[in-house]
Amino acid sequence: MTLLKSWVDSANNADTDFPLNNLPYGVFSVTDGDARCGVAIGDMILDMYAAEEQGVIDLTDEPLFDVPFWNELMEQGPAVWAALRARLTDLLAENATERGLVEPLLVPMADATLHMPLVVSEFTDFYAGRHHATNVGTMFRGAENALPPNWLHIPIGYNGRASSVVVSGTDVRRPWGQLKSPDHDKPAFLPCRRFDLELELGAIVGMASDGPISVDEADAAIFGYVLLNDWSARDIQAWEYQPLGPFQAKATATSVSPWIVTKAALEPFRTNTPEREFELLDHLKDTRPMLYDIDLSVTLAPAGKKASTIAETNYNQMYYSAAQQLAHHSTSGCPMNVGDLLGSGTISGPTKPERGSLLELSWGGKEPLTLDTGDTRTFLEDGDTLTLAGHAAGTGYRIGFGTCTGTILPALSDPYAR
Ligand code: CA
């Protein structure tokens, strides 16, 4: 696959995240206008509300873009997803005959505010990166018990909260919580001292199901992917996580990137899950490559200072694909809904610079990181801005996710003050 050329010049730059091959879906507003659906192309956004109202996009009897979220399009199913992508590709291609109709519907991205691209129905987060699970397990339970006995057989997850999912750019306030350090004999209610990020990819379910589905059916049901930062309070987590797993440690916020990169755009970048030491049960087996080759990075900028790259890894490091996670999620008969968001789990590679959390990068706070600015970090400090970025690299083009950022606000002085 090579670059598909567009009449939007900025979409033809080799380093744009948003060439014609990508066409990711977001929600934007300009000045005091209403939020509406848009499609990124180069440094512009195609206004889908206006495109539909003017008949340039006309896929269904009922309008799809009179609402500021993509769930209605998702509910139409894969045939309409494909028809929309084909229509957008025609309208924006180099020699498009309808350029004159489309050009007035473009808005400069620099003038736009980006919003949540979907209504998140429910949020589930997995723990499916082998290097991450091994690192964290080693710190929490020792190298001998790093991976729990089930880990190589099922993708471990927990049911999170849709209510705490926020769009990139939303500030994140350091939480308070109950913690207990091993050198204190009593728990205390304090501001989190070990606030952390988790580099993840989120899969968005685009087709509902009601009963067990196969890995192939699960793959077909996935609409697209976003960058996802699962903010984590490690000191709260260490005290609360047994026996039911994380709860308040993961409930402050989860940030997602504003652009949904469709499964269709990522198709040329499929890759296999890794070699396994135990054969998976049949209902969880891959039938074809289900992961994607997506380069990922994390930068940290202390307040008022320049950003340093603290981690670089790839989504191909996952042990389980989103399709396997979704198939496993459905095995009990759990109904899955359009707009469900599945976090991949923290993505870490085998070497230290590939670790997708500060917990791993600073090895539980024992090995502080030195940033390019000379500042050191074990965990996040107030005012730090974290930015995730990712793209799949093609020849002369890339399928980018844009960025997913968040800045840490100080804890409230008294969380119960009224
Ligand atoms: Ca997580």
What is the rounded distance in angstroms from the CA atom of residue 329 to the CA atom of residue 118?
Answer: 21
Q: What is the pTM of this model?
A: 0.97
Is 3.40.50.1370 the CATH number for 123-409?
Answer: no
Active site residue 184: no
What is the rounded distance in angstroms from the CA atom of residue 309 to the CA atom of residue 316?
Answer: 20
pLDDT in tens, 154-189: 999 999 999 999 999 999 999 999 999 878 889 999
Question: Would you report the helix, strand and coil content of the chain in percent, each value rounded to 5?
Answer: 25, 30, 45
pLDDT for 346 equals 97
What is the rounded distance in angstroms from the CA atom of residue 225 to the CA atom of residue 256?
Answer: 10
Name the active-site residue from 115, 131, 132, 391. 132
Is 2.30.30.230 the CATH number for 9-115?
Answer: yes
- Specify the 3-state DSSP secondary structure of 129: strand
Amino acid at position 398, single letter: R
Q: How many whole angstroms from 217 Cα to the centroid of ligand 1?
A: 25
pLDDT for 181 equals 81
Q: How many whole angstroms from 215 Cα to the centroid of ligand 1?
A: 22
pLDDT in tens, 15-70: 999 999 999 999 999 998 999 999 999 999 999 999 999 999 999 999 999 999 99
What are the structural domain ranges in the chain? 9-115, 123-409
- Specify the 3-state DSSP secondary structure of 359: helix
Q: Mean pLDDT of successive 10-residue segments in the chain (418 residues)?
A: 96 97 98 95 98 96 97 98 98 97 98 98 95 92 92 96 98 97 89 98 98 98 98 96 93 98 98 93 96 98 98 97 98 98 97 97 97 98 98 96 98 93
Contact of 339 with 119, CB cutoff 8 Å: yes
Q: How many whole angstroms from 250 Cα to the centroid of ligand 1?
A: 8
Query: Residues of the chain with pLDDT > 70: what percent?
Result: 100
